[in-house]
Structure 1
Amino acid sequence: MFNSIKYIALLLLAFSLYSCKDDDTNPVKDTDEVTLNSIVNKTSGDYTFEVVSEDKELKEGHSVFYIRATDNSNNSIAKDLSVNLIMEMGMMIHSTPFMTEVVTMNDKEYIKVDATFIMASAGGSWFITLKSETMAIDERMDCTVIATGNVKRFTFEEKSYFVTLRSLDSPKVGMNDFVISVHTRESMMIHPAVTDLTTEVEMLMPSMGHGSDGNVSPIHSANGVYKGKVNFNMTGDWKITLRLKRGEMMIGEPIVYTLDF
């Protein structure tokens, strides 16, 4: 009996030692680590600036990127900077909808920029401005915004509206998120979110002459973002028609997105 207990104890000890060794050679991966791609960087005087993104390029429509700004001792100066996004078109300039906040990722401080580029670089030249009066910083960083076709523009009652598709990058058979954002132009530099609309979504597969069931028209979530669902019941060519309303009045003409997968 004693020998049996001793044998079991030795087995448990050996197992625990093996487990500890296995843990040491296979540390738990930091799931908070984010892979960031460098978009553009610049060193000016005592400061270094870098624009990075989880995507490899900035794109027309919804695009999230981050700005790392440091002094020559590698200390972050993110909290000291103001950011603007500018499109230069000959003698005219304008901005685009965006929000900023300072965040920490990979143990570093960044300015997170949640932007909606209302046009691609083909229409002009985009650049980012970084400014600080107290630190005498006034920098320009040129960047390229690739075309996607995700932004639809229309005019209603002499005001420009911009409707941006923010989903369906990788559509699949079945239910898919259908997310849009809506902004208007108050001035060339101010593009507030539109939050008071209702929507209607209609699906059609032109080659087969049928639609789909179970679609959910987007409703406003926050900051001009509207979330719904669309159902692709088979692969092929699809046409999504979106109607925007304020009360009972339709705003602009129906917006059409087409895709084939």
Structure 2
Amino acid sequence: MNLLKSAFIVFAFSTFVSCTKKDDPVVSNDLDGLTLATTLTNNTHKIALYTASGKFQTGYNAIYVQVKTTAGTVVNNATISWTPTMHMMGMTHSCPASAISKNKGYLVFQMAGTDDEYWTLTINYTIDNIAYTVTDTIAVSESSKRVVETFTGSDNNTYILALVNPTTPAVAVNDISMVLYKMESMTSFVIVDGYTIKIDPRMTSMGNHTSPNNVNLTQGTDKMYYGKLSLTMTGYWKINLQLQDASETIVKGEAVTDTNEGSSIYFELEF
């Protein structure tokens, strides 16, 4: 009887422990791996913007937005939107900007700012049905490599194509992703659906050789474009691009051949 009772106690305890471990909520920190890029402040709140690099650069920028009161209390129930604006000599324009979901979103800057031509960012947000806004200048620097292309296609549409991943390329078949937008006006950009982005990676310093097992990018359910990028050695790679529309017409970019060393649109990686 004592043995049975002891066995039951051990079983009950182990079941309790396993259930407790299984049911314990996983605590995640949305700011892990991120660095504060800037803070926008008005009379009521501080809007902190975080990125992986701690700055904004040309190309794709994944951004976490954190709203705090001026006393430093984090506000978790804010509904947030944003409007980036580039102020140039005699004109202004915007850039592709995602919606903000669970405080996360992205901006695609086509150009860097300077002392005379600069970016501002307006954050509109609502807390408990009360609307707030803040606008300030943000610094956007030039990426060290070519990671965004703005071009006019043969269909006379202006496109913005930006590299998302890989951010840390390896000697392997890498997952590669991009975002593709079409400019409707100087302030309106829409995601392009149903295209194909052809890739041809080349090592220009090594006889312009390519690599096997690359997969062209097609659109996923989240509207980004996904494919496979094969990198067979470390060094500088030029990722030649061709943009193909839904009718399989190439609207921009050229194939690499014996007489053509590269496309007019491309990205760069070096590792």
One-letter amino acid of the counterpart of residue 217, structure 1: N
Give me the whole-angstrom Cα distance separating, in 1, the residues matched to 2:118 and 2:87: 5
Pick closer, same or farther for the CA change 1:192–1:42 going to 2, 3 Å.
closer
Q: Alignment partner for residue 149 of structure 2, among 127, 140, 152? A: 152
Pick closer, same or farther for the CA change 1:197–1:69 going to 2, 3 Å.
same
Pick closer, same or farther for the CA change 1:78–1:91 going to 2, 3 Å.
farther
Alignment partner of 2:189: what SS?
A: coil
The 10-residue stretch of structure 1 (90-99 or 180-189) with the greater mean CA deviation from structure 2: 90-99
**1:68–1:78: 8 Å Cα contact kept in structure 2?**
no
Give me the whole-angstrom Cα distance separating, in 2, the residues matched to 1:203 and 1:80: 41
Report the equivalent of 1:211: 210
Give me the whole-angstrom Cα distance separating, in 1, the residues matched to 2:40 and 2:208: 53
**1:59–1:120: 8 Å Cα contact kept in structure 2?**
yes
Report the equivalent of 1:164: 162
The 10-residue stretch of structure 1 (78-87 or 180-189) with the greater mean CA deviation from structure 2: 78-87
Give me the whole-angstrom Cα distance separating, in 2, the residues matched to 1:248 and 1:66: 37
One-letter amino acid of the counterpart of residue 257, structure 1: F
Give me the whole-angstrom Cα distance separating, in 2, the residues matched to 1:43 and 1:237: 41
TM-score by length of 1: 0.75
Shift of 1:136: 6.2
Report the equivalent of 1:5: none
Give me the whole-angstrom Cα distance separating, in 2, the residues matched to 1:237 and 1:112: 31
**1:59–1:146: 8 Å Cα contact kept in structure 2?**
yes
Is residue 2:189 matched to residue 1:197? Answer: no
TM-score by length of 2: 0.73
Q: Alignment partner for residue 122 of structure 2, among 125, 129, 132? A: 129
Same amino acid, percent of matched pairs:
23
Give me the whole-angstrom Cα distance separating, in 2, the residues matched to 1:174 and 1:204: 15
State how 1:1-261 maps to structure 2 within 5 Å: 32-33=28-29, 34-35=31-32, 36-71=34-69, 74=73, 76=75, 79-103=78-102, 111-122=103-114, 124-131=117-124, 135=130, 137-148=132-143, 149-156=146-153, 157-206=155-204, 207-222=206-221, 224-246=223-245, 247-254=247-254, 255-261=265-271
Shift of 1:237: 3.6
Report the equivalent of 1:13: none
Alignment partner of 2:78: what SS?
A: helix
Shift of 1:166: 1.4
One-letter amino acid of the counterpart of residue 39, structure 1: A
Unaligned 5+ runs, structure 1: 1-8, 10-27, 104-110
Structure of larger gyration radius: 1
Give me the whole-angstrom Cα distance separating, in 1, the residues matched to 2:62 and 2:211: 32
Shift of 1:162: 1.1
Give me the whole-angstrom Cα distance separating, in 1, the residues matched to 2:74 and 2:230: 49
Alignment partner of 2:188: what SS?
A: coil
Unaligned 5+ runs, structure 2: 1-5, 7-23, 255-264
Alignment partner of 1:212: what SS?
A: coil
Give me the whole-angstrom Cα distance separating, in 1, the residues matched to 2:268 and 2:35: 30
